[in-house]
Amino acid sequence: MRLCLIDTGPLVALLDRSEPEHRRVQRFLAQFNGRLITTGAVITEALYFLSDIGGGPAALVAFVEASATQIRDVFGVEALSAAARLMDKYADVPMDFPDATLVWTADETGADHILTLDRRGFRSFRFRKNRRFNLVLEE
């Protein structure tokens, strides 16, 4: 089964029709056949951005449930330490905490496909020594 990480931007774009990338993300997910993985930090950030949209947080929960998206716990000491190291390493890009948790998750799972709108960041970030991410919206 194909694993694909999912970042905050596509979650927000999927559920907020006013987002410029709404249709593109919607089309990708409609044809996607695999397993989505994200992190608690990404979900937290998406909930924040969707809080101004009526029913936004509930729609996010419904999507996560319907898609069986796996949510990785990134609030333990090991993940927090790894995220802090990554954020320091990529401070010039920059890298925020949710991005760091996705890179850590890629390290842990080997998942190299990512659904993100952050092209600059995820073109720069590396995992498992020097592996690059495959930005699925650019396929």
pLDDT given at position 21? 96
Alpha carbon of 24 to those of 43, 49, 51, 54, 80: distances in Å? 20, 19, 22, 22, 32
pLDDT band for position 1 (50/70/90)?
low
Per-residue pLDDT averaged across 50-70, rounded? 97
Mean pLDDT of the 103-123 span: 96
Q: Which residue has the tokens 């998206």?
A: 69
Instruction: Give how many domains the chain has, as a whole number.
Output: 1
Structure tokens at 102: 């996705």
**Mean pLDDT, rounded, of the chain:** 96
The 10s digit of each residue's pLDDT in 70-89 is: 999 999 999 999 999 999 99
| Cα angle value 53/65/58 (rounded, 5°) | 20
Strand order in the sheet with 35-39: 70-72, 35-39, 3-6, 113-115, 134-135
**Rounded to two decimals, what is the model's pTM?**
0.95
5-51: pLDDT as tens digits: 999 999 999 999 999 999 999 999 999 999 999 999 999 999 999 99
What percent of the chain has pLDDT above 70?
Answer: 99
Unique residue bearing structure tokens 């694909």: 4
pLDDT at residue 56 tops 70: yes
**Residue 139: pLDDT band with limits 50, 70, 90:** confident
pLDDT of residue 93: 94
**What CATH number is attached to the domain comprising 90?**
3.40.50.1010
Give the domain range for residue 102: 3-138
**Residue 138: per-residue pLDDT:** 87
